[in-house]
């Protein structure tokens, strides 16, 4: 999933610096899923920091073109990846659409907003990968509309086994700027966490649904 170790470490460093990612092994967060978690990630915070969003835009555009070829269209997954998707599309000089979790219940009842033609090559932009279900739902909607989905680029992935399996089962290529392993390495190197906290964070990722129960 990771193409460049230096990019992965730099991305992790920036996300920690601006608190887009918070690590609190001793004071777990509560996710909407009901899981207790020592990590919380909100990549929308990156939009408030011009140097960070510039870095993400350039690196994601670079990966998209390098891995999949210059697409006809960039598609962002609503809502978290709409803004970064627009920035990547602007960097590549191509049109942009975004994909809702489900069709609107009124108006034109669109699930895909923007102009998309059948047969166009699309690269999907995502901000965060957990299980991958919402991301793959967007891919399915694009394929149903006749798009040729070349692959996906995301800012960060928790690296759950279930996500790897989901992407493999759906035959979707995923590349991320950074992931959980590189985040922990960077956090330890910069003394953001201790060795003891590292162990806790590694235990969580091994069994997140049962951790700290």
pLDDT given at position 105: 62
Q: How high is the pLDDT of residue 34?
A: 81
End-to-end CA distance of the chain: 30
Q: What is the DSSP string of 176-196?
A: EEEEHHHHHHHHHHTTSS-HH
Contact, 64 vs 96, CB < 8 A? no
- Spatial distance between the Cα atoms of 121 and 207, rounded to a whole number of angstroms: 37
For residue 213, pLDDT beyond 60: no
**What are the pLDDT digits (tens) for 55-75?**
999 999 999 999 999 999 999
For the stretch 30-47, pLDDT in tens is 887 788 999 999 999 999
- Residues 83/103, Cβ–Cβ less than 8 Å: no
Q: What is the pLDDT of residues 99-156, one digit of tens each?
A: 999 886 666 679 999 999 999 999 999 999 999 999 999 999 999 999 999 999 999 9
The pLDDT, as a whole number, for residue 108 is 67
What average pLDDT does this structure show over 52-56? 98
Give the three-class secondary structure for 158: coil
The pLDDT, as a whole number, for residue 80 is 94
Q: What confidence score (pLDDT) does residue 117 get?
A: 97
Instruction: Give me the pLDDT at residue 210, please.
Output: 85
Instruction: Count other C-beta atoms under 10 Å from residue 128's C-beta.
Output: 21
- Mean pLDDT over the full length of the chain: 94
Instruction: Quickly count helices (H) and strands (E) in the chain.
Output: 7, 10
């Amino acid at each position: 999933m990771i193409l460049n170790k230096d990019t992965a470490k730099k991305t992790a460093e920036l996300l920690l610096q601006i608190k887009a990612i918070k690590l609190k092994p001793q004071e777990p967060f509560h996710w909407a899923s009901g899981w207790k978690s020592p990590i919380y990630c909100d990549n929308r915070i990156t939009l408030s920091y011009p140097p960070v969003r510039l870095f993400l835009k350039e690196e994601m555009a670079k990966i998209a073109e390098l891995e999949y070829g210059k697409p006809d269209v960039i598609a962002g997954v609503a809502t978290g990846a709409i803004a970064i998707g627009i920035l990547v599309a602007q960097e590549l000089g191509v049109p942009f659409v975004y994909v809702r979790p489900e069709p609107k219940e009124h108006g034109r009842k669109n699930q895909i907003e923007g102009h998309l033609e059948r047969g166009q090559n699309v690269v999907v932009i995502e901000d965060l990968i957990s299980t991958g279900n919402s991301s793959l739902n967007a891919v399915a909607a694009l394929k149903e509309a006749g798009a040729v989905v070349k692959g996906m680029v995301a800012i960060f992935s928790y690296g759950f086994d279930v996500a790897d399996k989901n992407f493999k089962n759906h035959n979707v290529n995923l590349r991320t700027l950074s992931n959980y392993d590189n985040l922990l390495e960077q956090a330890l190197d910069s003394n953001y966490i201790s060795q003891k906290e590292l162990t806790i964070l590694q235990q969580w990722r091994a069994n997140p649904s049962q951790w700290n129960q």
